[in-house]
Amino acid sequence: MGLSLLASRALRLSRIPSRATQIFLRPIVSTRDLNTPEPATSAAPPPPPPPHRHPVGGARVHFPTPDDAIEVFVDGFAVKIPKGFTVLQACEVAGVDIPRFCYHDRLSIAGNCRMCLVEVEKSPKPVASCAMPALPGMKIKTDTPIAKKAREGVMEFLLMNHPLDCPICDQGGECDLQDQSMAFGSDRGRFTEMKRSVVDKNLGPLVKTVMTRCIQCTRCVRFASEIAGVQDLGMLGRGSGEEIGTYVEKLMTSELSGNVIDICPVGALTSKPFAFKARNWELKGTETIDVTDAVGSNIRIDSRGPEVMRVLPRLNEDINEEWISDKTRFFYDGLKRQRLNDPMIRGPDGRFKTVSWRDALAIVAEVVNQVKPEEIVGVAGKLSDAESMIVLKDFLNKMGSNNIWCEGNGPNPNADLRSGYIMNTSISGLEQADAFLLVGTQPRVEAAMVNARIRKTVRATHAKVGYIGPPTDFNYDHQNLGTSPQTLVEIAEGRHPFSATLANAKNPVIILGAGIFERMDKDAIFTVVNAIAKKHNVVRPDWNGLNTLLINAAQAAALDLGLVPESDRSIESAKFIYLMGADDVSLEKLPNDAFVVYQGHHGDRSVYRANVILPASAFTEKEGTYANTEGCAQTTLPAVPIVGDARDDWKIIRALSEVAGIQLPYDSLGGIRSRIRTVAPNLLEIDERVPATFSNSLRPESSQKIKPEPFGVTVENFYMTDAITRASKIMAQCSALLKK
Amino acid sequence: MAQVAQVLKQFRVQPNSTSLEEARKRTFEFFKLACRSIPSIMEIYTLEDVVHPSQLRASVLAEIRKNAHITNPKVIDLLLFKAMEELKNVVDHSKQRHHIIGQYVVGRQGLEDLAPTDPGTSDYLKKFYNSNYF
Ligand code: SF4
Ligand code: FES
């Protein structure tokens, strides 16, 4: 009501003055009532008590020490906040959303955009609420003419040098500047000079820059130096010559660089692959999870029709906060290339022939019924969901074979003790740690989001990080303690200086890389690590700091479901091998006469050896459960329809079982989930992390000898780790340009 | 063949049949004309590998027999006129291959289910062969 009243009054009054006076007395503010702002104190009648409001976004306030609560008044409404909150945070608790550009909850406070000005009683000027600590009894006014005028003025200054190119800007429709100028800005500007323009910077294949649009909020600079840990971006020049850029002509080399697209409040930093592809209001969002690494970052897939247009992060404080890695954000163009869309059989001439599902399944069923049970082998790929893995396992078991495993879990993996393969501390729990020992793992490439957590902890508490493994990049302070398991023995025996660090730490954390699973002496390594853990109290009733960092989305669920091969030589004697999206399994030792069935969504490595191809759906097209490295089960949801004549993984195996004459007892996802309940009930606790029940110290000591070979690099190329990312053109560009 | 085309080209609307007998004679003439044009139809529409001439003959015959119960010479004349028109269209290649196949080759017994029906398969498998979404 207020607005329309103001507008109509402004309209009525504007007719009265003559033309001449209008020209000379052009008001400073277009909104009439704001022309003579008076401090709110002079408003005589006390306003009625405002209705109770809820904090912005339904947030809850946590009081670390209840005595430190202070009371402030926001628009006359009293709120209790912990000491140390800023005025802006106090307003949020009171349910008032303050407009802002430079302030971001996860970055340091810069206070340079001035959009968040509010009026505080007894202060002569409006104050920047994001930078002002709230004091007891403060009376904050967010809705007064002074505050409104201040915002309108700031908006006008910001728009002065901002190009009016919203129609061709990719941020249009989800732009903070656009929204806030609609809400708080004036309806006209008084700027008649030339707008300034700024040269665009080349930040690499992922981030497109249109630097003229930049409003110098420095969010991107703070993100790069604080969260991503690279000093690539900075502010150059002063005054109207101020520019954001890399100091020298240089690409932004961070695995988190895509996040600057999200935090940039305007369209200065946008996604290069998404540029001019779609407007954001045409897109349909599907809330799902990422499977390109074992973190299971929460993402939103924006699709238009059958096409995935972009991937954005979703907030999940326990896993990825609000960031995602570049691989997660930009691999999606791989979903359009190299797809398998029809069942195919390799003819005698070595070429694939398209056949119907009926024929393809009939052939597979015939072959599988001819070979001996112990010659049947199944391998689940790194992108498999729990449902299809249990169906594959049941199918092979019914055929009489137990040779089934999941890529990356290595020979005879330990599936008995859940604490032995998940991240027991949990990803958010890492923030309480004060000493890290990383063994044979390069978290920056294996799990970028976990690395971001470690960096956050190191920055906040100066936790010590010790690393054992080949030289690698870190974006925080660390000590390289050695390269081989021998160093572990030294730490266990207390001969190494780092044992003192561990001993002094309150909450020490040990993280083992999943690359160790492939080593022959892994049991010995686990024994030594257990000894270290025992010695330095890493595992206590209130703290479990002994972790494994997995690298593939399917790994944890596969071990939960007990996908453990009977013998580790089964490939050499296999006559029938069923690859469910497994592309990284080495088929060199496979006998030449073996029959290879490849079920998957991409024509990747294993297809070269396949005899039959059964097209399956990718994770964007199906519903499936995945357990991440901390053991938290989450599900994907179909965002786009399947490609061609493909089918969901579990449906194919279920159909095959029937054609082969050993029908499996379920034919719906619900049925499979009840089957999972009997094997691994934790996989049904969706979005709920179920900690391991038994500690890893129960593990029997191994009599194996430690081998002196140094730890290897597990993930060679961060950008290309699986079938989808290997098919992606953007990921190929990234590996060419950004991999050092 | 050229003969047939010639006859068709010179076809004029004839005066009405005076009796049922005459209409009957005209019907036979039409049938013979159609039969004579079948080889050229087979060639124009390359039907060798989908149908045998005798099948086409049978289907023309069946079309005629469908109206066997009609005794009014006027109605028969009209039907003959329409038949002649259709034949002319066919011979002039005014139609396309799928029209012929649809109307005279498979049209008779309708599209038969080419997929083998395996009675033993479950509901699940039938749906699976059909589509991914069920
Ligand atoms: S580029 Fe974007 S995030 Fe960076 S300073 Fe400019 S407006 Fe802010
Ligand atoms: S948000 Fe407070 S000054 Fe920018």
Domain with residue A106: its CATH number is: 3.10.20.740
Please indicate, yes or no, if residue A413 is contained in any of the structural domains. Answer: no
What's the one-letter identity of residue A333? D
Mean pLDDT across B85-111: 85
Q: Choose among A657, A577, A580, A646: nearest CA to A616.
A: A646
In this predicted structure, the answer to whether residue A1 has a pLDDT above a threshold of 60 is no
Is B121 in contact with A667 (Cβ distance < 8 A)?
no
Q: Which residue has its alpha carbon closest to ligand 1 atom 6?
A: A214
Query: Which CATH number fits the domain that encloses residue A353?
Result: 3.40.50.740
**Cβ of residue A217 lying under 6 Å from some atom of ligand 1:** yes
CA A221 to ligand 1 center in whole angstroms: 8
Phi and psi at A420, nearest 5°, equal -85, -10
Using a CB-CB distance cutoff of 8 angstroms, which residues of chain A are in contact with residue B122?
658, 663, 667
Cβ of residue A648 closer than 8 Å to a chain B Cβ:
yes
Residue appearing with tokens 């032995």: A420
Q: Which domain holds residue A592?
A: 344-404+555-684
Query: How many angstroms separate the CA atoms of A557 and A632, rounded?
Result: 10
Q: Are residues A653 and A565 in the same domain?
A: yes
Which of A109, A135, A160 is the last residue before a domain boundary? Answer: A160
Q: For residue B103, is pLDDT > 50? A: yes
Residues B45-97 have pLDDT tens digits of 999 888 899 999 999 999 999 999 999 999 999 999 999 999 999 999 999 99
Tell me: do A149 and A166 sit in the same domain.
no
Query: Which of A101, A131, A160 lies at the terminal end of a domain, its last residue?
Result: A160
Amino acid at A69: A
Strand pairing class (A546-549; A352-354): unpaired
Q: How large a percentage of chain A has pLDDT more than 70?
A: 92
The predicted-structure confidence for A682-699, as pLDDT tens digits, reads as follows 999 999 999 988 777 677
Nearest-by-Cβ selection for A648 from B125, B129, B132: B132
Contact partners, residue A50, CB within 8 Å, separation at least 6 = A75, A76, A77
List pLDDT tens digits, range A586-644.
889 999 999 999 999 999 999 999 999 999 999 999 999 999 999 999 999 999 999 99
Same-domain check for residues A561 and A511: no
User: For residue B117, which residues of chain A lie inside 8 Å, CB to CB?
Assistant: none
- Where residue B109 falls among pLDDT bands split at 50, 70, 90? low
* Nearest beta carbon to residue A358 from set B122, B124, B129: B129
* Residue to mutate (ligand 2; options A114, A140, A142; most atoms within 8 A of CB): A114
The confidence score (pLDDT) of residue A678 equals: 94
∠ CA A656-A662-A667 to the nearest 5 degrees? 60
In this predicted model, what pLDDT tens digit does every residue of A159-216 receive, in sequence order?
A: 999 998 999 999 999 999 999 999 999 988 899 989 999 999 999 899 999 999 999 9
Separation of alpha carbons A699 and A530, rounded Å = 9
What's the burial of A257, exposed, middle or buried (CB within 10 Å: 0-12/13-18/19+)?
buried
Confidence check: pLDDT of A226 > 60: yes
Q: List residues bridging with A262 in a β-sheet.
A: none
A444 and A456 assigned to the same domain: yes
**What residue has token string 């006027």?**
B74
End position of a domain, from candidates A140, A160, A180 = A160
A329 in a structural domain: no
Task: Write out the H or E segment, with its range, that includes residue A90.
Answer: helix A87-93
DSSP output for A135-183:
-TT-EEESSSHHHHHHHHHHHHHHHHTS---GGG-TTTTS-HHHHHHHH
Report pLDDT for B115.
56
CA dihedral angle for residue A182, residue A186, residue A191, residue A192, rounded to 10 degrees: 80
- Tell me if chain B has a CB within 8 Å of the CB of A601: no
User: B25: helix, coil or strand?
Assistant: helix
Contacts with B116 from chain A: Cβ below 8 Å:
358
Chain B residues lying within 8 Å of A655, measured CB to CB: 124-125, 128-129
pLDDT band with cut points at 50, 70 and 90 for residue A12: very low
Which ligand lies nearest the alpha carbon of A265? Answer: 1
Instruction: List chain B residues with CB under 8 Å of A648.
Output: 132
* Tokens representing residue A48 in the block: 């009625």
Asked if residue A356 belongs to a domain, the reply is: yes
C-alpha radius of gyration, chain A, whole number: 30
Q: How far apart are CA A208 and CA A730, in angstroms?
A: 13
> Does A111 fall in a domain?
yes
Kindly state whether residues A606 and A539 are assigned to the same domain.
no
Looking at the fold, whether A25 and A127 belong to one and the same domain comes out as yes
Residues A111-127 have a mean pLDDT of 93
Nearest by CB: B124 against A617, A648, A667: A667
* Contacting B residues, span 79-118, partner chain A, CB-CB under 8 Å: 115-116
d(CA A523, CA A520): 8
Looking at residue A413, its pLDDT comes to 84
Runs of H (alpha helix) within chain B: 2-9, 20-44, 53-65, 73-91, 97-100, 123-130
- Indicate if A9 and A133 belong to the same structural domain: yes
Q: Determine, for residues B125 and A642 on separate chains, whether the beta-carbon distance falls below 8 Å.
A: no
What integer pLDDT is reported at residue B57 of this predicted model?
A: 93
Q: What is the CA angle A437-A442-A448, rounded to 5?
A: 110
Q: Which of A623, A649, A653, A667 to mutate to test the interface with B (most CBs of B within 10 A)?
A: A667
* A190 and A224 both lie in a single domain: yes
Give residue-wise pLDDT tens across range A56-67.
Answer: 887 888 888 888
Centre of ligand 1 to C-alpha A449, Å, is 23
Whether A670 and A638 map to the same domain: the answer is yes
Query: Residue A298 domain-assigned?
Result: no
Number of domains in chain A: 4
CB pairs below 8 Å between A and B: how many? Answer: 28
- Number of C-alpha atoms within 13 angstroms, CB side, residue A223? 25
Q: Answer whether residue A106 is part of any domain.
A: yes
Q: Using CB atoms, which residue from B116, B122, B128 is nearest to A647?
A: B128
Domain match, A8 and A145 both: yes
Residue A98 Cβ contacting ligand 2 at under 6 Å:
no
Question: Nearest-CA neighbor of A454 among A488, A481, A477?
Answer: A477
Please give the distance, rounded to the nearest whole angstrom, from the Cα atom of residue A71 to the centre of ligand 2.
23
- Classify residue A167: in a domain, yes or no: yes
Query: Are residues A127 and A195 both part of a single domain?
Result: no
Q: Tell me the per-residue pLDDT of A652-685, one tens digit each, with 9 for 90 and over.
A: 999 999 999 999 999 999 999 999 999 999 999 9
Write down the pLDDT at residue A7.
46
A61 and A43 both lie in a single domain: yes
